[in-house]
A = this chain, B = another copy of it.
């Protein structure tokens, strides 16, 4: 059996076809253009792509991950901060009609969690919290080897845990969320404030051909010992440690898996993060938990494909 996986992000939509052993057979991506084109236009492009791939590969399942507030039971996106005009936008219905195979929709962070569990952790741990560090911060929970959705499909929303009440404004509208301290937009907000001559900083540290002040540039500066860059990553690690500590107390996982683009700077923030764990008063859950950083940057779309197949194979009951 082959599986088709789709990851609908605010910027890009990724599609993969994989085989039963999780090996990549085909991949492509296109701009979501969720705002400018709108939902109808997006679905035209998506169904065109799926129709073509369906003819070639004949997948036995379609698994979809989407950013935002997703209704897994009805297969629709209730609301997504980056696709603001979409409300209760049906996704699985049209794709199921088109392909004739079972289609599954989940929150993208849940799918990244499933991908991490299947591909990188090899199902070694029963209870996993996977945290996606990107522009925003998402989370997904594997409990007792099964994806835990919660009542409305939004379980694992660690990004909006309030770690600094009254602190910086978050994209969600609230203040002091973990995301407002450790999402890449927050890290770069702090960096722009702290770095006096941004032009010179970018010229010195940016990756060749990518002359922008972003987290990659900030990581490269930290690699070369830039004190402000090191401080920003240290503070980010301390804040992330606080947010994860609350979640570890609640959920007592065997493993916390960090994924997403910002996790690539882990060499600069994992140390401060672990210090926060070591200073916890309730020791047992922190002694037990294993901290991992994902190798694969596309866990979300692989996880979606794998989860769709799992559902079809009846190994994954709905929770």
The smallest C-beta distance from A84 to any residue of chain B, in angstroms, reads 14
Give chain A interface residues in 171-199, CB to chain B under 8 Å: 172-174
Nearest neighbor of A176 in chain B, beta-carbon distance: B165
Most buried by B among A150, A156, A157: A150
Q: Knowing A288-B151, A319-B144 are in contact, say whether A250-B282 is a contact too (CB < 8 A).
A: no
Specify which chain B residues have a CB less than 8 angstroms from the CB of A143 in the assembled complex. 143, 148, 319
Q: How large is the interface on A (under 10, 10 to 19, 20 to 34, 35 or more residues)?
A: 35 or more
Verify if A284 is at the interface (C-beta below 8 Å from B): yes
CB nearest neighbor in B for A129 = B250
Would you give the 0/1 interface string for A122-164, flagging 1 where the beta carbon is closer than 8 Å to chain B? 0000110000000000010001101011111111111011111
A251 to B155, CA, bound (A): 5
Tell me how far the C-beta of A130 lies from the nearest C-beta in chain B, rounded to whole angstroms. 13
Which residues of B are found within 8 Å of A245, using beta-carbon distances?
162
Instruction: Choose one: B153, B156, B249, B284; the contact of A158 (CB below 8 Å).
Output: B249
Residues of chain B within 8 A of A242, CB atoms compared: 162, 165
- The minimal Cβ–Cβ distance linking A286 to chain B, given in whole angstroms, is 10
Q: Which residues of B contact A280 (CB under 8 A)?
A: 174
Least CB distance from A111 to B in Å reads 16
Known pairs A143-B143, A246-B162, A284-B152; A157 contacts B319 (CB<8 A): no
A78 at interface, CB cutoff 8 A: yes
Whether the pair B282, A172 counts as a contact (CB closer than 8 A) is: yes
Q: Let me know if A158 and B252 touch, CB within 8 A.
A: no
Most chain B CB inside 10 Å of its own CB: which residue of A127, A143, A146, A250: A250
Is A253's beta carbon under 8 Å from chain B?
A: yes
Of B69, B165, B289, the residue contacting A163 (CB under 8 A) is: B165
Residues in B with CB closer than 8 Å to A162 are: 163, 242, 245-246
Complex-state Cα separation, A242 to B163, whole angstroms: 11
B254, A151: Cβ atoms under 8 Å?
A: yes
Alpha-carbon distance A295/B277, docked complex (angstroms):
37
Additional 6 contacts, C-beta under 8 A, given A152-B252, A161-B250, A162-B163: A143-B148, A150-B285, A154-B285, A157-B250, A157-B282, A162-B245
A–B pairs, 27, beta carbons within 8 Å: A143-B148, A144-B148, A150-B251, A150-B253, A151-B254, A151-B285, A151-B288, A151-B289, A152-B285, A155-B251, A155-B252, A156-B252, A157-B285, A158-B249, A161-B246, A161-B250, A162-B163, A162-B242, A162-B245, A165-B165, A170-B281, A172-B281, A173-B281, A174-B280, A246-B246, A250-B251, A251-B251
